[in-house]
C-alpha cells in the first residue's frame, strides 16, 4: 500500500478544473462543462465515437431538482450533449436508495432530459457478480447490468453533505452501481466507516470511470444527503481523479479533506490523490464558503464495532440517529431501509400511533435511516461524551 502511495505521489498532479457557473441556465451550463473539459485535455481524450458510455448521476431518491438531492438535469444534459457530439452511444442510470430507478429519474427531471436527447435508462434493477482479485478489501461485487453492459462510465456527482462520510461526492456516488437491496447488505457487512470507505474505494477502482463532472452549482449543506438545505456554490468541477475532485470540493466547503475517509483511503489504496492536485480554471479561493454547514468535528464518526468495549464506546461516543417525533409522519421508510436484523429502528407500538424507536445497542451507525427519511425528521446527534472527545 505504502508503495502504491509513493508511486502515486511521484506522478504528475491530478488536474481538477473548477469553472464558474452561476445558475442552471442550459446555455451557461453547456459552456461551463465545455470549458472544464477543455481545461483537462478535451472530451476526445476520454470518449471515442460509437463507444457505449453510461452517465451515472446521483439519483438518491425522487425529489425535484430544486431540493439539490440529485444531479441537476441541466448538468446531465450539458455533459450528454458534449458526449453525443463526440459520437458516443449513451445510457444513464443509478440504483436509488429508495424507490424504482424510472420513478426517481422522472421525479428528479432526469428522464425528461434524457428523453429529449434520446438516451435510454439502463438496467439498474438486475445485476451480475464480478470478481476483483485486486480489491484491497472486497474481491467480488454484484453490479447493475447497466454498468456491466457499457464500455465506460462518466460520473456526475452532486456536492452534498453526508452523515457517515461527511461528503458525498465523486467516490461515494458509485455505491449506486450496486443494485437494490444489496446496498443494505454492504452497510450491514461494512459496519464501520473505515471498512465502508475502503469498500467504496475498491468499488471505484473496479469501475474506473473515465471522467467526473460534479454539480456544485447548488450544493447541499446541513442534514444531507437527502434532508439538507440547498446552498449555491456556483461551480462545475471536472476531473479524471475522484479523490482530487472530492478534496477540492472539501476546500470549497472549508472542510479538512483528511476528515473524509474516502479521500484518505482513496490515496492510500491508489485510487487518486488529495495531496497532489493542480487546480485549473477559476480560482478555488473565490468559491470557498467558510460557513458551509458540514460536520467538521475531528475523529471518526464511527469506530470499530467488533469488541465488547467498542460496542460500549459506540453507544457512549459515536454520533447516533435521533427522531424528531413532531416531524415524523410514521411513513416507515427508516424501518424499511435499516439493514440490520433484527431492525435497529422499528415501530414499538404502531397502533398507538407513535414514531419508530431506535435500539442503539443494535444500531451499526450506517445512517441509512437519516439518509432516507423523507421528512427531515432524523438528525445525527453526538452523545455528550462524544462531544468532548470530538472537539
Going by C-alpha positions, the residue among 82, 228, 221, 85 that lies closest to residue 156 is 82
Distance separating alpha carbons of residues 175 and 111, to the nearest angstrom: 21
Q: With helix as H, strand as E and coil as C, how does 51-71 read?
A: CEEEEEECCCCCCCHHHCCCC
Nearer CB in complex with ligand SF4: 31/346? 346
Residues that bind ligand SF4 (CB under 6 A): 321, 323, 328-334, 337-338, 340, 344-345, 355-356, 358, 363-369, 373, 375, 377-378
Distance separating alpha carbons of residues 285 and 78, to the nearest angstrom: 25
**Nearest distance, CB of residue 187 and ligand SF4, angstroms:** 7
Nearer CB in complex with ligand SF4: 36/321? 321
* Cβ-proximal residues to 308 (8 Å cutoff; 6+ apart), any chain: none
Nearer CB in complex with ligand SF4: 35/330? 330
CB atoms within 10 A of CB 309: 10
Nearer CB in complex with ligand SF4: 124/367? 367
Q: Is there a cis peptide before residue 342, judged by omega within 30 degrees of 0?
A: yes
**Nearest distance, CB of residue 340 and ligand SF4, angstroms:** 5
**Nearest distance, CB of residue 191 and ligand SF4, angstroms:** 8
Nearer CB in complex with ligand SF4: 284/340? 340
Nearer CB in complex with ligand SF4: 198/226? 226
**Nearest distance, CB of residue 344 and ligand SF4, angstroms:** 4
**Nearest distance, CB of residue 384 and ligand SF4, angstroms:** 19
Nearer CB in complex with ligand SF4: 179/184? 184
Distance separating alpha carbons of residues 117 and 297, to the nearest angstrom: 44
By the 8 A CB rule, do 164 and 301 touch?
Answer: yes
By the 8 A CB rule, do 161 and 220 touch?
Answer: yes
**Nearest distance, CB of residue 323 and ligand SF4, angstroms:** 5
**Nearest distance, CB of residue 180 and ligand SF4, angstroms:** 16
Distance separating alpha carbons of residues 91 and 124, to the nearest angstrom: 11
Burial classification of residue 204, based on how many CB atoms lie within 10 Å of its CB (0-12 exposed, 13-18 middle, 19 or more buried): buried
Nearer CB in complex with ligand SF4: 166/251? 166
Distance separating alpha carbons of residues 121 and 353, to the nearest angstrom: 40
**Nearest distance, CB of residue 99 and ligand SF4, angstroms:** 13
By the 8 A CB rule, do 39 and 302 touch?
Answer: no
**Nearest distance, CB of residue 339 and ligand SF4, angstroms:** 6
For residue 108, give the 3-state DSSP assignment. coil
| DSSP-assigned states of every residue in 330-353 | ---HHHHH--SSS-SEE-S-GGGT
Nearer CB in complex with ligand SF4: 213/369? 369
Amino acid at each position: 500500500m505504502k508503495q502504491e502511495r509513493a508511486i502515486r505521489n511521484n506522478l504528475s498532479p491530478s488536474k481538477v478544473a473548477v469553472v464558474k457557473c452561476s445558475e442552471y441556465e442550459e446555455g451557461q451550463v453547456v459552456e461551463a462543462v465545455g470549458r472544464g473539459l477543455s481545461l483537462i485535455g478535451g472530451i476526445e481524450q476520454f470518449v471515442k465515437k460509437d463507444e457505449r458510455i453510461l452517465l451515472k448521476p446521483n439519483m438518491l431518491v425522487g425529489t425535484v431538482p430544486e431540493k439539490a438531492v440529485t444531479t441537476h438535469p441541466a448538468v446531465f444534459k450539458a455533459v450528454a450533449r458534449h458526449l453525443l457530439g463526440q459520437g458516443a452511444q449513451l445510457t444513464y442510470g443509478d440504483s436509488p436508495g429508495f424507490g424504482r430507478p424510472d420513478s426517481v429519474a422522472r421525479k428528479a427531471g432526469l428522464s425528461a432530459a434524457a428523453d429529449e436527447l434520446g438516451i435510454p435508462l439502463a438496467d439498474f434493477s438486475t445485476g451480475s457478480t464480478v470478481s476483483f482479485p485486486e480489491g484491497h478489501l472486497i474481491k467480488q461485487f454484484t453490479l447493475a447490468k447497466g454498468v456491466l453492459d457499457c464500455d465506460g462510465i462518466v460520473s456526475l456527482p452532486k456536492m452534498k453533505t453526508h452523515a457517515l462520510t461527511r461528503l458525498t461526492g465523486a467516490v461515494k456516488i458509485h455505491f449506486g452501481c450496486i443494485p437494490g437491496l444489496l446496498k443494505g447488505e454492504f452497510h450491514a457487512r461494512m459496519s464501520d466507516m473505515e471498512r465502508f470507505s475502503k469498500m467504496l474505494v475498491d468499488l471505484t477502482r473496479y469501475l474506473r470511470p473515465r471522467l467526473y463532472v460534479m454539480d456544485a452549482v447548488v450544493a447541499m449543506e446541513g442534514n444531507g444527503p437527502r434532508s439538507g438545505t440547498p446552498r449555491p456554490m456556483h461551480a462545475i468541477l471536472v476531473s479524471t481523479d475522484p479523490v482530487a475532485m472530492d478534496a477540492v470540493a472539501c476546500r470549497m466547503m472549508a472542510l479538512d479533506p483528511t476528515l473524509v475517509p474516502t479521500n484518505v483511503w482513496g490515496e492510500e489504496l491508489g485510487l487518486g490523490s488529495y495531496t497532489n492536485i493542480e487546480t485549473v480554471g477559476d480560482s478555488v479561493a473565490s468559491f470557498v464558503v467558510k460557513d458551509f454547514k458540514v460536520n467538521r468535528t475531528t475523529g471518526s464518526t464511527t469506530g470499530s464495532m467488533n469488541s465488547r468495549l467498542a460496542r460500549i464506546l459506540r453507544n457512549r461516543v459515536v454520533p447516533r440517529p435521533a427522531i424528531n417525533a413532531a416531524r415524523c409522519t410514521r411513513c416507515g421508510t427508516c424501518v424499511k431501509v435499516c439493514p440490520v436484523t433484527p431492525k435497529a429502528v422499528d415501530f414499538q407500538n404502531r397502533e398507538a400511533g407513535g414514531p419508530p424507536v431506535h435500539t442503539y445497542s443494535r444500531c451499526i451507525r450506517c445512517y441509512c435511516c437519516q439518509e432516507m427519511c423523507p421528512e427531515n425528521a432524523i438528525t445525527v446527534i453526538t452523545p455528550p461524551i462524544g462531544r468532548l472527545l470530538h472537539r
